[in-house]
Structure 1
Amino acid sequence: MSEHRILAINPGSTSTKFAVYFNEKCVLNKTLRHSVDELSAYADIIEQFGYRKGMIIDALVEEGIDIDKIKFIIGRGGLTYPLESGVYLVDQFMLEHARAGIYGKHASNLGPVIADYIASQIPGAHAFIADPVVTDELEEIARITGHPMFRKRSIFHALNQKATARVHARKTGAHYEDLRLIVVHLGGGVSVGAHVDGRVIDVNNALDGDGPFSPERSGSLPVGQLIELCFSGKYSKEEIYRMVVGEGGYVAYLGTNNALEVHKRALAGEKQAQFIEEALAYQVAKTTGEMAAVLNGQVDGILLTGGMAHNQALVDLIKKRVGFIAPIFVYPGEDELEALAMNALMVARGELSAKKYTPRMEE
């Protein structure tokens, strides 16, 4: 059997994670952390391209990886136009949309850009994305917002939510397509999705103003107060957007996007850290309850995943409020790099065909 060498890249809001696979075997897995101060040097997320790309290449060289032998580079899909689930070949159309941030500003926009750059430096290499954050399987009724000028957008941790759901299905001897699940991703952003028949029929927009707050995002805000702030003349459009994405949540209340630091401060007795950590759990539980209603109360399991699922105290706070709904299963961290690599491997082996980026424009 041929050995396929794969580089999987996952740029997140507070980290850049990457891994090298030789077929199914992971030979390198690294997480590069980025502080608020480091990222504040860049006015726009896409400007972080050189910084993050350089760190990945330097780390690969330092680890002794022969970069020229890597022929499949797959990045986390960014905020392009809505797409169906699957693997996509990176092309210029996708790159233009990712760089422009036509659907929003997020570190995942760097996924196809970095993958394409590295692939361009290696003869015979190709760049892909898989299950991008704009994966859209919403029921039509879930798109209704309350005013016809606004429609709900599907922006969430699709790659990890689906990978976690499939891992859970295998561990329980079931098929993902037969389960009714609520999957909660607890990371730099927080998304809570209702999964049924292998589709995510409803989920909060985890990026810019919907659902629970997170380490650096505000989540839902009081609309009237937000309107007043927008027209107060005190802040620019960019400044207000940063309040919602990048400088909301833990950053706004506690001055850091590091959830581990917040938990350590809470354990040390800092009352504000304790209170805000509990408030995050409270909001996550509320949104989980909403998704239980979406599934008509017929829920086979609630899956907690993402980096903050390592925090047992936070997990216990969530369990206390939603344990009555369904059994709770914890899958800390994320399987996104492995999920990316296995998607690329299926393409390499001809088991899966990469799709062409043909976006479905918003109505």
Structure 2
Amino acid sequence: MGFKILAINPGSTSTKVALFDNDTQQLDLTLRHTAEQIAAFPNVIDQLQWRKDMILKALAEQGFDVRQLSAVIGRGGLVKPIEAGVYEVNEAMKHDLTNATMEHASNLGGLIAEQIASQVGVKAYIADPVVVDEMTEMARYSGLPECPRRSIFHALNQKATARLHCDKIGKRYEDMNLVVAHMGGGISVSAHCKGRVIDTNNALDGDGPFAPERAGTIPAGELVELCFSGKYTKRDLKKMLAGKGGLVAHLGSNSVMHLIERVEAGDKQAGVVIDAMSYNISKAIGAMAAAMSGSVDAIILTGGIAYNEPVVKYIEEHCSFIAPIAVYPGENEMEALMLNALVVLKGTITPKVYA
């Protein structure tokens, strides 16, 4: 029997839980949360006990005794900017997750992991949170000193998929220049230069391509007018940027698969908006190629939207001149979490200290 690893990935409408024996997956659970259930909690952090209890109940129903665990690893949240890697959950991290300046379900990952781990006497970790920051100084500048560009992207899946691709072709991640586009509820496009993400968009609340639920970069002047129109509160506007923007704002749905079905049924407007999203992703890929002076070994498309052939085909038509395109649909986040915990348990690496 190997190391028993519990991986936890809280999302806005579900909590994904996976149990591994070394690198062999034994359980894969998706605990769904209705809009009504989520609405009962004023803030995301208020869901901590509820989600933890739900996980423990689900594991018990599957006949698993949590006292067998060797480690628990959670999806990293919106802590302060840090380098990529594995971090043990400590008091400083718990404080920053509990008091995060931005609300996101991922803030619960390390907290739930720590509570379950402490209950059974093992350690809790996070790995490659969304605030991984390896950007160059040049990439941080915007046109206003008060508004620097920020690194908030799908670091866990991007890093894991990039390494998977490099392993597949027999290359070292640290030797490659890659543009990686994670396309999900949010979309992040990043320049991976020799193992470091030197530039990326803030995929959470206002930078880069518009996405199923996020507005991406929008014209600054129009946004100022919107802010002072008197029609919206600050909370309303934040929700328009992340949650009710993008495809939801244009077409009333965050499901690319459903919208493509509408296109096939004759909905021309849905077709135009899907193409516009794909166009914006293609432009962002070109920008990240420029960040590496055009020296790109591969373009990698990943995330749930990569299952949709029309989007992939559009991007291929617009970007294949830059570099070969590799498609890895879906998210490899649970496997990535497991692998990060496993290398710590085996002593291959020492976890970093969050301070």
TM-score interval, smaller chain:
over 0.9
Structure 2 residue 275 is the aligned partner of structure 1 residue 278: yes
Which residue identity lines up with residue 215 of structure 1 in the other structure? Answer: P
Pair 11,126 (structure 1): closer, same or farther in 2 beyond 3 Å: same
Specify every segment of 5 or more residues in structure 1 that has no aligned partner in the other structure, as ranges: 359-363
1:119 to 114, 117, 120: 117
Aligned to 1:5: 4
2:122 & 2:264 partners in 1: Cα distance? 48
The within-5 A match list for 1:1-363 is 3-34=2-33, 39-102=38-101, 104-122=102-120, 124-358=121-355
Which residue identity lines up with residue 276 of structure 2 in the other structure? Answer: A
Which residue identity lines up with residue 252 of structure 1 in the other structure? Answer: A
1:192 & 1:47 partners in 2: Cα distance? 31
Report the TM-score, using the length of structure 2 for normalisation: 0.94
Pair 65,355 (structure 1): closer, same or farther in 2 beyond 3 Å: same
- Residue 193 of structure 1 and its aligned partner are, at CA, apart by 0.4
1:241 & 1:209 partners in 2: Cα distance? 9
1:259 & 1:59 partners in 2: Cα distance? 30
- Residue 38 of structure 1 and its aligned partner are, at CA, apart by 5.3
Give the paired residue count.
355
Which residue identity lines up with residue 128 of structure 2 in the other structure? Answer: D
State percent identity of aligned pairs.
Answer: 53
1:50 & 1:332 partners in 2: Cα distance? 33
Which residue identity lines up with residue 236 of structure 1 in the other structure? Answer: T
2:74 & 2:12 partners in 1: Cα distance? 14
Provide, for residues 204-251 of structure 1, a one-character-per-residue CA deviation record: whole Å limited to 9, x for no partner: 111110001111111111111111121222221111101111111122
1:127 & 1:331 partners in 2: Cα distance? 29
- Residue 353 of structure 1 and its aligned partner are, at CA, apart by 1.2
Provide, for residues 156-182 of structure 1, a one-character-per-residue CA deviation record: whole Å limited to 9, x for no partner: 111111111111111111111111110
Which residue identity lines up with residue 322 of structure 2 in the other structure? Answer: I
Provide, for residues 258-312 of structure 1, a one-character-per-residue CA deviation record: whole Å limited to 9, x for no partner: 3333233333332332222222111111111111111111111100001111111
1:286 & 1:37 partners in 2: Cα distance? 38
Which residue identity lines up with residue 111 of structure 1 in the other structure? Answer: G
Q: Secondary structure at 1:88's aligned position in 2?
A: strand
Which residue identity lines up with residue 25 of structure 2 in the other structure? Answer: C
Q: 314-323 or 175-184: which moved more?
A: 314-323
1:33 & 1:99 partners in 2: Cα distance? 23
Pair 276,44 (structure 1): closer, same or farther in 2 beyond 3 Å: farther
Provide, for residues 309-354 of structure 1, a one-character-per-residue CA deviation record: whole Å limited to 9, x for no partner: 1111211111111111111000111221111111111111222212
Which residue identity lines up with residue 117 of structure 2 in the other structure? Answer: A
Q: Secondary structure at 2:93's aligned position in 1?
A: helix
Q: Secondary structure at 1:74's aligned position in 2?
A: strand
Specify every segment of 5 or more residues in structure 2 that has no aligned partner in the other structure, as ranges: none
Which residue identity lines up with residue 170 of structure 1 in the other structure? Answer: D
- Residue 106 of structure 1 and its aligned partner are, at CA, apart by 1.8
- Residue 116 of structure 1 and its aligned partner are, at CA, apart by 1.6
1:230 & 1:3 partners in 2: Cα distance? 55
Asked if the contact 1:156–1:207 (Cα under 8 Å) also holds between the matched residues in 2, the reply is yes
1:20 & 1:69 partners in 2: Cα distance? 11
- Residue 42 of structure 1 and its aligned partner are, at CA, apart by 4.0
2:228 & 2:184 partners in 1: Cα distance? 32
1:41 & 1:262 partners in 2: Cα distance? 30
- Residue 31 of structure 1 and its aligned partner are, at CA, apart by 3.0
Which residue identity lines up with residue 109 of structure 2 in the other structure? Answer: G
Asked if the contact 1:36–1:257 (Cα under 8 Å) also holds between the matched residues in 2, the reply is no
Which residue identity lines up with residue 261 of structure 2 in the other structure? Answer: K
- Residue 33 of structure 1 and its aligned partner are, at CA, apart by 4.5
Please tell me the root mean square deviation across aligned C-alpha atoms, in Å: 1.8
Pair 154,91 (structure 1): closer, same or farther in 2 beyond 3 Å: same
- Residue 40 of structure 1 and its aligned partner are, at CA, apart by 4.4
Aligned to 1:361: none
Q: 59-68 or 188-197: which moved more?
A: 59-68
